[in-house]
Amino acid sequence: MSDATPALPLLELEGLHVGYGKTAALHGISLVVRPGETVALIGANGAGKSTTLRAISGLLKPSRGSIRFRGAEIGGMPPDRIVKLGIAHCPEERHVWPAMTVYENLVLGAYLCRSQQTVQERVEKVYARFPRLKERHGQLAGTLSGGEQQMLAIGRALMSEPVLLLLDEPSLGLSPKMAAEVFDVVGEINRHGVTVLLVEQNVHNALQAASRAYVFETGRIVAEREAAGLLEDPELLTAYLGG
């Protein structure tokens, strides 16, 4: 084992409490994500995983606790400022704009970029990563298959050139073959230097993609392990995820 000092956290949550109105959803969670990692948040529906991503991206305001990105507090910041810092959120159920073309959806993802040339360069990068989107450049997003819409949603998030990508349920509703394709892309994105924080209902997909994972239960973190170790711990998975 190396004695090298671990990388400082890119993202750090400490004692985070978040609620919807008077209903508490997160009860003091703490976690870290280091540069270059893919970290998975796993747990049953309603455990607080998606709420965590929404708080990080500024869609929900914490009631207590801290969210630090590169050492600076971002909890409660407006979402556009958080995007500008280098965090992109690819939400559950994709939320592409169905009446807009593939190209128009991608351009929306770079809304903070003032240079048209830079926007076009980013579009070409996305098309290089997702050739199927290039083939459907002028097609309305609402006419794409579920897998293609997921690729578009990820591509749109990448248009802001994030340092940290928050991915919520990327395989939801996809065939096993298409889900495998999407996770191949997630792996490639990570290998090219983007840190990934992933929420995924399919535990085996999540743990195969991730280096570490946090297990959520009713708004709390009940375990943190190396992903490979969790895959080999069926009792823990059964206890908190139902198998």
Tens digits of per-residue pLDDT, 208-242? 999 999 999 999 999 999 998 888 887 877 776 66
DSSP, collapsed to helix, strand or coil, labels residue 98 as: coil
CATH superfamily of 11-241: P-loop containing nucleotide triphosphate hydrolases (3.40.50.300)
Domain limits, the chain: 11-241
CA 133, CA 225: separation in Å to the nearest integer?
A: 36
Query: Positive or negative CA dihedral for 56, 58, 61, 65?
Result: positive
Q: Where are the beta strands (DSSP E) in 99-190?
A: 164-168
pLDDT for the residue 6: 60
CA 50, CA 72: separation in Å to the nearest integer?
A: 22
Helix (H) or strand (E) holding 51: helix 49-56
User: pLDDT over 70 for what percent of the chain?
Assistant: 95
Total-model pTM: 0.91
> What's the N-to-C CA distance of the chain in angstroms?
32
CA 157, CA 28: separation in Å to the nearest integer?
A: 28
